[in-house]
Chain A
Amino acid sequence: MLRYVYGDDLHRFPHLADTMFRDRADQFKTRLGWAVSVDEKGHERDDYDALNPLYILWEGPDGRHQGSMRFLPTTGPTMINDHFRHILGGGTLTSPLIWECTRFCLARGAASHVAAALMLGGGEVMRQFGVKHFAGVFDARMIRIYRMIGALPEVLGSQGEGRARISVGLWEFSETARRQVARRAGVPPELSDLWFRQSFGAAPLPLSRSA
Chain B
Amino acid sequence: MNVAPPRRLEPILTSLEEARDRDDLQAVIVDFRDYFRIDHLVYHWVSADGDQYGCGTYAPEWVARYLEKDYLRIDPVIQGCYQRFHPVDWKRLDWSGKAVRHFAEEARAYGIGNQGFSVPLRGPNGQFALFTANHSCPDAEWQAFTERHRRHLILIAHYFNQKALEFEPDRTAEAPRALSPREVDALTLLALGYGRAQVAQTLSISEHTLRVYIESARFKLGAINTVHAVARALSRGMIVI
Seen from chain A, the residues whose Cβ lies within 8 Å of a Cβ on chain B are 6, 8, 52, 54, 72-76, 85, 88-98, 125, 128-130, 132-133, 135, 154, 156, 170, 172, 197, 200-209, 211
Contacts and interface: CB of A to CB of B under 8 A. Distances in A.
23 contacts: A54-B86, A76-B122, A88-B180, A90-B181, A91-B183, A94-B177, A94-B219, A94-B220, A95-B219, A154-B209, A170-B212, A172-B212, A197-B92, A202-B92, A204-B95, A205-B114, A206-B76, A206-B91, A206-B104, A207-B90, A207-B113, A209-B101, A209-B104
A206 B93 CA distance: 8
B215 interface: yes
Nearest to A206: B95
Contacts of B83: 6, 8, 52
B55 interface: no
Contacts of A200: 86, 92
A97 B215 contact: yes
Nearest to B77: A206
Interface in B192-216: 206, 208-209, 211-213, 215-216
Given A89-B181, A91-B181, A207-B108, A97 B76 contact: no
A205 B138 CA distance: 10
Contact of A201 (B92, B157, B211): B92
Given A91-B181, A92-B216, A156 B92 contact: no
Contact of A97 (B92, B113, B154, B206): B154
Nearest to B150: A130
B158 interface: yes
A130 B94 contact: no
B189 interface: no
B111 to A, nearest CB: 11
Main secondary structure of the interface of B (DSSP, over half): helix
A72 B105 CA distance: 35
Nearest to A51: B85
A115 B90 CA distance: 31
With most chain A CB atoms within 10 A of its CB, the pick from B122, B178, B208, B212 is: B212
B178 A91 contact: yes
B139 to A, nearest CB: 7
A90 B92 contact: no
Contacts of B76: 206
A211 B107 CA distance: 12
A35 B96 CA distance: 47
Listed from nearest, the 10 A-B pairs whose CB atoms lie closest are: A91-B180, A208-B114, A95-B219, A207-B114, A130-B150, A206-B95, A201-B92, A89-B182, A129-B86, A130-B151
Contacts of B154: 96-97, 130
A92 B85 contact: no
A155 B66 CA distance: 50
A90 B150 contact: no
A203 B96 contact: yes
B93 A203 contact: yes
A201 B180 CA distance: 38
Contacts of A209: 95, 101, 104
A208 B182 CA distance: 48
